[in-house]
Amino acid sequence: MSGNNYSVINAMVDIIASPTRALDEIRGHTAWLWVPLIISMVVSCAAFAFYYSWVDFDWLVEETIAGLPPESRAEAAPGVRSFMSPTSSIAITIASIVFVTFVLYALFAAYYHLVAKIATSAELKYGQWFSLNVWAGFPQIFGAIAMFVVILMADSNQLAQHKLSPLSFNEIFIHAEPGDKWFNWGNAVHLLQLWSLYLVALGFSRWTGSSLVKGLVVAAIPLVLIYGIWAALV
């Protein structure tokens, strides 16, 4: 396929099946980022909206209260019961997904842009690094798809939210329960992040002419710092 016939649809397929080709093409098509970005956020928001509409919400509220620290549980319980509803949970989750996605991509793009300027001779714009983050994050759409699968295969609608992420480190390795010190950390880290990390490293390598090892180091530093400091605090 010639470059003139290559489209954003081809790129969305190739970022999964042939990432080298996709990354080479999207470098010159920054505007394409809006398609995978919107699709990813819509699918993620739809997965959570489906969950909050489907789950036994009274049960979920009590599970949320049970997961609070014992010393503050009794005092916080009335507020949780009055505030939590399917509508409020959906609205807050959608707003959080949109806000956090843009903030994280913006911060990581600034980091890659700065590193590339300091450590390489590549002439790349900030928007290109933002685009790389979006495309590297696109495979995490499989996490949202997995949520639908878990819900549809559940034995009942009393399903804890952390069970929606079967690829999290907690579900695969740690098996911590709510209230355990490693519970939140384990649910924040998942295997799809490693896929995204590799795509960022590959993109950094190809766009700057650096080695893949250098790209992996650059891509891994923020995550190692974030989750390493978190783990140390735990």
Please give the DSSP secondary-structure letter assigned to residue 54.
Answer: H
Per-residue pLDDT tens over the stretch 172-193 = 999 998 878 899 999 999 999 9
Q: Which stretch, 105-109, 162-166, 179-183, has highest mean pLDDT?
A: 105-109
Please count the structural domains in the chain: 1
Say what the pLDDT of residue 178 is. Answer: 82
Closest CA to 150 of 168, 169, 177, 138: 168
Confidence of residue 165 (pLDDT cuts 50, 70, 90): very high
Q: Over 70: is that where the pLDDT of 162 sits?
A: yes
* % of residues, the chain, pLDDT over 70: 99
Per-residue pLDDT tens over the stretch 134-153 = 999 999 999 999 999 999 99
Contacts by residues 217-225 (CB-CB < 8 Å, ≥ 24 positions apart): 218/112, 218/115, 218/119, 222/108, 222/111, 223/193, 223/197
Per-residue pLDDT tens over the stretch 91-102 = 999 999 999 999
Say what the pLDDT of residue 68 is. Answer: 84
Say what the pLDDT of residue 2 is. Answer: 47
Per-residue pLDDT tens over the stretch 59-92 = 999 998 988 888 888 999 999 999 999 999 999 9
Residue 198 to residues 70, 79, 220, Cα–Cα distance (Å): 41, 43, 9
Say what the pLDDT of residue 76 is. Answer: 92
Per-residue pLDDT tens over the stretch 193-233 = 999 999 999 999 999 999 999 999 999 999 999 999 999 99
Q: Over 70: is that where the pLDDT of 166 sits?
A: yes
End-to-end CA distance of the chain: 51
Say what the pLDDT of residue 179 is. Answer: 79
Say what the pLDDT of residue 75 is. Answer: 92
What's the domain range around 95?
3-233
Q: What is the sign, positive or negative, of the torsion defined by CA atoms of 57, 142, 6, 114?
A: positive
Per-chain mean pLDDT for the chain: 95
Say what the pLDDT of residue 72 is. Answer: 87
* % of residues, the chain, pLDDT over 90: 91
**DSSP conformation letters of 69-115:** -HHHHHHHHHHHHHH--HHHHHHHHHHHHHHHHHHHHHHHHHHHHHH
